[in-house]
Structure 1
Amino acid sequence: MAEGDSSGEALHGRPSLPSRVFTRTGQVYQTWLDRLTPHTPLRWLLTTLLAAGYLARVYWLQGWYIVTYALGIYHLNLFIAFLSPKVDPSFGDDSDDGMALPTRQNEEFRPFIRRLPEFKFWYSATKAVVIAMLCTCFDAFNVPVFWPILVMYFLLLFCITMKRQIKHMIKYRYIPLTTGKRRYKGKEDTGKVFAS
């Protein structure tokens, strides 16, 4: 085998050019995601602007309503998972490893752990908008449909789903907001140093 043979190099441990390109692209992509992670308002602002751009494109092109409906249903599912606790108290399992929500006032504070964490919610919602935007580039996804029916069906589905979720929150007494543990103030630091 020749020394410069790329297939021989791939067999001996050196990755091929496409493999290195995909690996490097994945590393750069992950770096940008890691940099965006602590900037929650900025991430959601970018996703909102992207979604507004998608809606403007759909309005301007007058089509792709079924794609928009699918995007709305997907976002609704993500939102419900975001509002739901990781361990559902309605199952009544004792095998939750201490992850259940407190049921009495005097129980230990436990933060609300979501079924879908905020970052994964944002990431999935943003990917869905990008995929929907790409779908508007292909006429095969522009299925003719009477859009007011889809809007009414989506609103009905949203109301029913949210009503069920709110009843679940009331029944099991949880709020999907983690405000944190109570913090007690100690003695004020006066800044005076006493010499002994």
Structure 2
Amino acid sequence: MEGVGAGSASAASPVNKWIYDASRLYQYYLDKTTPLSVYRWIGTFVLVVIYALRVYSVQGFYIVSYGLGIYILNLLIGFLSPLADPEMGGGGSDGPLLPTKGSDEFKPFIRRLPEFKFWYSFTKAFCIGFVMTFFSVFDVPVFWPILLCYWIVLFVLTMRRQIAHMIKYKYVPFNLGKQKYGSKKPSSSGSGRND
């Protein structure tokens, strides 16, 4: 009996090693793309266009697209929200509150869902959605204009609430680069050089 168990364990070992090596290689290339955000998003945009062309050419899978839209909306909310929600009290173990007054100490905006994870989840969702379009079981017949109208209503209501939250707590979830202040003109009397 021991020979049967030992044989299957040794046979599984090369498979486990191959899976481990493949996951390490995948993680290596994923890590290499981290600083290349513009190229990552361009690739994702191409994937979205391919998905849209696939759905258009098949004239179906609208329920898959609707589910994808709801998931993307959920990701967008996480991307635009601060890590520590000021409405829940923030501070303490959740992290610091956002500054609400000009005299408060500057605290950088930390997202609940970082950009890389947002991109990765966004891209993975479209890959899964694309694969689902090849299985007819997911092609549920629905009247797509109603789904589109419902999604637009959800998007508008959700974004209105999110923008009201941003205005109330005075934060901007986008990094617009280093602030530039007005350039000081050197005065002739203030110059320490005698020419």
Aligned-pair RMSD on alpha carbons?
A: 2.2
2:111 to 110, 114, 129: 114
Q: Please say if residues 82 and 114 of structure 1, whose CA atoms lie closer than 8 Å, have aligned partners that are also in contact.
A: yes
State the distance in 1 between where 2:83 and 2:108 align.
11
1:80 is the counterpart of 2:49? no
- Structure 2 residues not aligned, in runs of 5+: 184-195
2:42 to 45, 69, 72: 45
Q: Please say if residues 103 and 173 of structure 1, whose CA atoms lie closer than 8 Å, have aligned partners that are also in contact.
A: yes
Alpha-carbon shift at residue 177 of structure 1 (Å): 1.8
Q: What is the 5 A alignment of 1:27-106?
A: 27-96=24-93, 98-106=95-103
- List per-residue Cα deviations over 1:75-111 (Å, max 9, x = no partner): 0100011000000001124414652111111222111
Other-structure match for 1:162: 159
What is the identity percentage for the equivalent residue pairs of Structure 1 and Structure 2? Answer: 51
Change in 2 beyond 3 A, CA 1:104/1:96: farther
State the distance in 1 between where 2:177 and 2:163 align.
22
Other-structure match for 2:193: none
Higher helix share: 2
1:172 to 161, 169, 174: 169
Q: Please say if residues 166 and 172 of structure 2, whose CA atoms lie closer than 8 Å, have aligned partners that are also in contact.
A: yes
> Number of residue pairs matched?
179
- Structure 1 residues not aligned, in runs of 5+: 186-196
State the distance in 1 between where 2:83 and 2:95 align.
12
Query: How does the TM-score come out when normalised to structure 2?
Result: 0.85
State the distance in 2 between where 1:8 and 1:33 align.
31
